[in-house]
Amino acid sequence: MHVHGVKWIVGALVVLALVGVGIDIGTTLLPPMAVAQTKGTLIPWVLTWGMILATTAMGAVIAGFMVGVGLGMVDGHA
């Protein structure tokens, strides 16, 4: 593996770290589901968690692509 490949893999680790930060922020700022039900804000709560999970999935796909490029399994050019 060349230095160029290491840069792609380190970038993928950074993306995964940002995904973790996003999940941590969601769990810190959003109330538990029971509280949202009690307040009548369940729909916004569900939509917000849906966006967090969609972002997590996209981050995992991007990180996987970056690792593939770093290992030479995927061509990184368009």
- Rounded mean pLDDT of 12-22? 96
Residue with tokens 């290491």: 6
In tens, the pLDDT along 35-58 reads 999 999 999 999 999 999 999 999
Instruction: Calculate what percentage of the chain has a pLDDT beyond 70.
Output: 95
pTM: 0.83
**What's the pLDDT at 29?**
95
User: What confidence tier does 72 reach under pLDDT thresholds 50, 70, 90?
Assistant: confident
Count CB neighbours of 15 within 10 A.
20
Cβ(15)–Cβ(62) below 8 Å: yes
Distances from the Cα of 47 to the Cαs of 35, 36, 54, in angstroms?
15, 12, 10
d(CA 65, CA 61): 6
Is the model's pLDDT at 1 over the cut of 80?
Answer: no
